Structure 1
Amino acid sequence: MEILVLNAGSSSQKSCLYSLKEDAIPLHPPAPLWEAQIDWTHHQGVAELKVKTINGVVFQEELNTQSRLETVEYMLQTLQQGETKVIDSLAEIDCVGHRVVHGGDKYHDSTLITKEVKDAIADFAKFAPVHNPANLEGIVAIEHILGEKVTQVAVFDTAFHAQMPEAAIVYPLPYEFYEHGIRRYGFHGISHQYVSQRAAQILDKDLTSLKLVTCHLGNGCSLAAVKNGYSIDTTMGFTPTAGLMMGTRSGDTDPGIIIDLLRRGHTGEQIDDIFNRRSGFLGLSGISADMRKIEEAIGQGNSRAKLAYDVYIHILRSFIGAMIATLEGVDAIVFTAGVGENAANVRADVCTSFAFLGLKIDEEKNNHRPVDRDISTPDSPIKVLVIHTQEDWAIAQECIRLTQLSTVPS
């Protein structure tokens, strides 16, 4: 079974191909045969394509971008020709899975893509105007390149949070706003769901018996409180701007700040730019949104970089505490994504706040780039896991599951 995964964003297109000897989901994530990434913002009118295969072949090229469709089509040609060839024909692809950022309040699970699903993805672009149109473009491109009969699956980033209790979803605003779709949706759901399942494997526990706080910490950051395998609370809300401080996003702030900015003459577009692209680490430090550069600046004595880091840790500790309260206890805290997986000091500084609960991490394990590992001490009642998130494999798993369901006789 050949499964192609497309993870489309506003500025990049990540893709990979998994090849399974049978349509059963393996216990551990397999390595993809082929991986590719298109950077649409490399230069104006030029996209950068990078391809690598399981055999270690690496290919890189700059492409004049006439259209996304033509660029994606060129990318897929590297699957079947040249030094990066891993299959004989694109017709061998059995299923294509797509990350779709917003499924609104309609899709609580992954689904086979139909015209109705495409129309819904387009409609929910009002909630995710940057991402949903790019996700839909990928779906349409595959139809054009592989034909409309190829099986396609939409895996929604919001779906994992769709069954949160109403008290966690509804904002304390006039109720009619909720009736018109203004509510907490949550994001990073594919990642939160994957690392929850992987945590259960590592702990050798039934997922339905666990209380987990999953921390997706990258340029975008969010937490989820996972109980009995379900998300019951999360930090991102109506948009991905909410919750934790991030690389360039503010996270939660006093709404009175927005009112004040409006009174000072700022436009909606300017305010959006401030909160989404000029805040967070970049805004506070004045240096970068990249944690690695922040750490370098702190080492050089930069006070604003240190302030940005301290604010980040303060907010992170506060929200993790809130998630633990929602869960009424916690079995494990899980760190994932770029910062969560690589910043040992972040993990250490966060975990020290929960020493009063008996939590202890093994300093040596924490400092040696752990991957899919428990870094807590044996006597720690709360486990601390570092898990490499694999959203692409999670999408591939959904493709396997849904194609199996679609072939079961009724």
Structure 2
Amino acid sequence: MNGNSRGGSGGTRVLVLNSGSSSVKYQLLEMAGGAGDRLASGIVERIGEVPEIPDHSAALKQVADELAAQGLGLDSPELAAVGHRVVHGGTRFTEPTLITDEVVAAIERLVPLAPLHNPANITGIKVARALRPDLPQVAVFDTAFHATIPDYAARYAIDTATADAHGVRRYGFHGTSHAYVSRATARLLGKEPAEVNTIVLHLGNGASASAVEGGVCVDTSMGLTPLEGLVMGTRSGDLDPAVIFHLSRVGGMTTDEIDTLLNKRSGLLGLCGDNDMREIGRRMDEGDTAAQLAFDIYIHRLRKYVGAYTAVLGRVDAIAFTAGVGENSAAVRQAALRGLGSLGIEVDAVRNAVRGSSARLISAPGGRVAVAVVPTDEELEIATEAYALVST
């Protein structure tokens, strides 16, 4: 691919690839008329662990074979583009970007900011470009939606020269989810995104909050890395930075050991031994005090961010829960917003208890702030952004 080609075949389909270190998730979507119909989806796992899938090249070939078996092969003229999820775009990539050799090199230079994610994303890009060098390929960055955060919210209060030299600032993550959910919430309310101020709560094993003012992100809980912010499944979220020095000086822990502790052995798992909210709920019902405390800490942090972002936005029109926990745990939603009636935030217990797969309101009738459950669709967001770029 020469880096200058755009969708010229008249194709209306986008293949979305999410390449992880040991897996490749894919979805093929039909974008004609903005439909976003899902034609195929799947995941290739255990890359490098089993003989038949030794590397990402073999994994992408398996994806191609699975699509071809359904009559949806990569050689189809109806394919307009491949959209790639890329975790970190730094300050350079703030919108969907047509992939060129120069872009790949720039993403590689960002690896120190996302050493666990960007390398796998890059591998997926390189393999996909090799399979279809003639096809436009688009990078969609997790950090891009948060690029609009003003400097006073994005910068940390450390020496400016040091921060600039090492790229230390708030980048935020889960951006495709926050973008999709904030717009979907506006649609649910029958309004344009520019008319709505929304607090989005993306609560999965990884969790983040964002303050979205008129469709534009003005603050988010994750920072330089996905470690900052809410209590997560295995990540600590916010803590005193001096904890790290203390563990090093007093506990004798190495940097790598502390990194592992905070990212993989903290959060709900570190507090009670479980990072599955369903299991924690079951244990709470049985009177397990460790599970109860973990839940209470999780909720306390969540409520603090709701309050903080209410202050940041000044006027909140909606609060949207999304991702695995946000979409499925009525107990988390109820507890997180309990007692906030003075802010115009009230959850209707009956509405909240109803399960469903579509966007829905769970706020009390007449409440000043709409409370919604909005299933996220990051693949559709990536496809939408990629198709918009190559079809112009």
Aligned partner of 1:68: which letter?
Answer: H
1:226 corresponds in structure 2 to 212
2:318 corresponds in structure 1 to 332
Q: How far off its partner does 1:75 sit?
A: 2.2
Please report the TM-score for the alignment, with normalisation by the length of structure 2: 0.93
Within 5 A, what are the aligned runs for 1:40-59?
40=46, 45-46=49-50
Check the 8 A contact 2:80/2:390 in 1, yes or no: no
Within 5 A, what are the aligned runs for 1:164-203?
164-180=149-165, 181-203=167-189
Q: How far off its partner does 1:211 sit?
A: 0.9
Pairing 1:257–2:261 present: no
Runs (4+) of structure 1 exceeding 4 A deviation are none
1:404 corresponds in structure 2 to 391
Once structures 1 and 2 are overlaid, which stretch shifts more, 291-300 or 158-167? 291-300
Q: How far off its partner does 1:86 sit?
A: 3.5
Distance (Å, rounded) in 1 between the aligned partners of 2:258 and 2:140: 31
1:3 corresponds in structure 2 to 14
Check the 8 A contact 1:185/1:237 in 2, yes or no: yes
Check the 8 A contact 1:317/1:353 in 2, yes or no: no
Check the 8 A contact 1:79/1:90 in 2, yes or no: no
Within 5 A, what are the aligned runs for 1:338-349?
338-349=324-335
Higher normalized contact order (CA 8 Å, seq sep 6+, divided by chain length): 2
Distance (Å, rounded) in 2 between the aligned partners of 1:272 and 1:79: 39
2:42 corresponds in structure 1 to 36
* 1:232 partner SS: strand
* 2:68 partner SS: coil
Distance (Å, rounded) in 2 between the aligned partners of 1:212 and 1:335: 11
* 2:338 partner SS: helix
Corresponding residue to 2:266 among 273, 276, 279? 279
Corresponding residue to 1:300 among 286, 309, 312? 286
Distance (Å, rounded) in 1 between the aligned partners of 2:298 and 2:280: 11
2:202 corresponds in structure 1 to 216
Once structures 1 and 2 are overlaid, which stretch shifts more, 218-227 or 92-101? 92-101
Give the superposed CA RMSD: 1.4
Aligned partner of 2:292: which letter?
Answer: K
Corresponding residue to 2:143 among 158, 180, 201? 158
Q: 1:89 to 1:339 in 2, by over 3 A?
A: closer
Query: Alpha-carbon deviations, 1:268-304, whole Å to 9, x = none?
Result: 1100000000000100002x21111111111222111
Q: 1:86 to 1:298 in 2, by over 3 A?
A: farther
Q: Which runs of 5+ in 2 are unaligned?
A: 1-11
Distance (Å, rounded) in 2 between the aligned partners of 1:88 and 1:228: 40
Please report the TM-score for the alignment, with normalisation by the length of structure 1: 0.89
Aligned partner of 1:276: which letter?
Answer: N
Query: Alpha-carbon deviations, 1:132-177, whole Å to 9, x = none?
Result: 011111111111222x221100000000011111100110111112
Distance (Å, rounded) in 1 between the aligned partners of 2:108 and 2:216: 27
Aligned partner of 1:5: which letter?
Answer: V
1:52 corresponds in structure 2 to none
* 1:338 partner SS: helix
Distance (Å, rounded) in 1 between the aligned partners of 2:316 and 2:270: 33
Once structures 1 and 2 are overlaid, which stretch shifts more, 121-130 or 66-75? 66-75
1:51 corresponds in structure 2 to none
Corresponding residue to 1:68 among 56, 60, 66? 56
Aligned length: 377
Aligned partner of 2:151: which letter?
Answer: E
1:351 corresponds in structure 2 to 337
